């Protein structure tokens, strides 16, 4: 073989070895995985059955690797931890559906999948009553409604303040994402804690919380348009200051377990702690789940001398605020005309 041929062969061998090295480096994870399988340090394939793995805020790669081993997802801590160190991924908190006896790479891929997190997402709107909220929570999570009813009575476990009449008004309305592992107790505790955080944001003292939430819950039910929240709050506070009864149909309806705008003479004569036609001042507790605006309105009412308000168009929420009874009676007449033209609203 000539000197030139030997040189060409050496160059070719160098290129081939370099290519092999590059391919080997690029696929070092697969090669290492194959070696781990041969050595009995890893499972093969995507596994069987199902298991939920939780990643909590602040969990490190080491913590996650140990959890995968402890739950039987992967076989060997060192094997999966080496993959995590090599990839240096960003893990996001949540619950992930994995399988038992997965290969370490398959498990890691599942944890890093954009759609891998398994959660129950639910929107709780402002103004809903607690019994409606519990219904929606049960439907969204699959947890029996009876579990939520039982949890609502476990005051200490769910963090319900001692002065609260019930959970009514203490479940903050918001969009929540709950782990499939969440329980009725943990869910209610989360929502009550969220309400307490909101009150903390507004600087509400513990001794004032039930009062603030009670007023806010009535404002939430009575006001139609956001700017009117602050006016409605002022009307009720003006009435309390002058010794007038609140005469809120929303509280009367709540006290008789009704769900209509209108109340009957019998409803308004029913002697219960929520009847603000019979009893002066605020009712004994909230009547709905107030949102942030309603809480703000209860704490920072508008300036005005109004003692009355009447929504004259239930479709648009147009409301008239009055300082005298004669002005109010004119607004009520407009409301009655509207109701007659729209019999579907009750």
Locate the domains of the chain by residue range. Answer: 29-112, 121-201, 209-341
pLDDT of residue 182: 92
Query: Which of these, 139, 152, 49, lies nearest to 99 by C-alpha position?
Result: 49
Please give the CATH topology (third level) of the domain spanning 29-112.
Dna Ligase; domain 1 (3.30.1490)
> Tens digit of pLDDT per residue, the chain (346 long)?
555 545 655 555 455 455 445 444 445 545 555 555 545 689 998 889 989 898 888 899 999 999 999 999 999 999 999 999 999 999 888 888 899 999 999 999 999 987 788 888 899 999 999 999 999 999 999 999 999 999 999 999 999 999 999 999 999 999 998 988 899 999 999 999 999 999 999 999 999 999 999 999 999 999 999 999 999 999 999 999 999 999 999 999 999 998 877 788 998 999 999 999 999 999 999 999 999 999 999 999 999 999 999 999 988 989 999 999 999 999 999 999 999 998 877 6
DSSP state of 174: S
CA distances from 130 to 175, 188, 253, 288, 301 (A): 16, 11, 15, 7, 25
Q: Could you tell me the CA-to-CA distances from 54 to 67, 74, 140, 143 in Å, in that order?
A: 9, 15, 20, 19
Token code pair at residue 255: 């006290």
Reading the block at residue 295, the tokens are 């809480």
What contacts 24+ positions apart, CB below 8 Å, involve 338-343?
Answer: 338/312, 338/313, 338/314, 339/314, 342/314, 342/315
* C-beta of residue 273 within 8 angstroms of C-beta of residue 214: no
pLDDT at 120: 85
């Amino acid at each position: 073989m000539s000197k030139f041929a030997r040189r060409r062969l050496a160059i070719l061998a160098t290129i081939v070895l370099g290519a092999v090295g590059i391919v080997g480096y690029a696929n070092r994870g697969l090669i290492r995985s194959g070696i781990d399988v041969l050595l009995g340090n890893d499972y093969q394939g995507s596994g069987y059955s199902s298991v939920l793995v939780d990643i909590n805020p602040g969990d490190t790669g080491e913590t996650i690797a140990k959890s995968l081993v402890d739950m039987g997802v992967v076989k060997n801590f060192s094997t999966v931890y080496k993959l995590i160190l090599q990839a240096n991924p960003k893990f996001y908190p949540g619950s992930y559906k994995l399988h038992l006896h997965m290969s370490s790479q398959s498990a890691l891929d599942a944890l890093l999948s954009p759609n891998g997190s398994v959660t129950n997402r639910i929107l709780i709107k402002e103004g809903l009553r607690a019994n409606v909220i519990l219904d929606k929570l049960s439907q969204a999570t699959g947890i029996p409604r009876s579990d939520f009813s039982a949890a609502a009575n476990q005051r200490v476990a769910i963090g319900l303040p001692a002065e609260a009449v019930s959970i009514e008004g203490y479940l903050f309305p918001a969009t929540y994402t709950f782990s499939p592992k969440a329980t009725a107790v943990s869910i209610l505790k989360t929502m009550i804690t969220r309400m307490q955080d909101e009150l903390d944001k507004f600087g509400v003292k513990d001794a004032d919380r039930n009062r603030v939430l009670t007023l806010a819950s009535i404002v939430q039910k009575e006001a139609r348009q956001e700017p009117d929240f602050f006016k409605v709050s002022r009307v009720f506070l003006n009435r309390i200051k002058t010794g007038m009864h609140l005469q809120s149909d929303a509280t009367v309806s709540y006290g008789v377990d009704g769900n209509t705008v209108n109340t009957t003479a019998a409803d308004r004569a029913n002697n219960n702690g929520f009847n603000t036609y019979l009893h002066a001042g605020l009712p004994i507790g909230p009547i709905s789940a107030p949102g942030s605006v309603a809480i703000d309105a209860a704490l920072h009412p508008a300036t005005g001398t109004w003692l009355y308000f009447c929504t004259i168009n239930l479709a648009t929420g147009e409301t008239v605020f009055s300082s005298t009874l004669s002005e109010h009676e004119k607004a009520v007449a407009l409301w009655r005309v509207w109701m007659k033209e729209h019999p579907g609203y009750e």
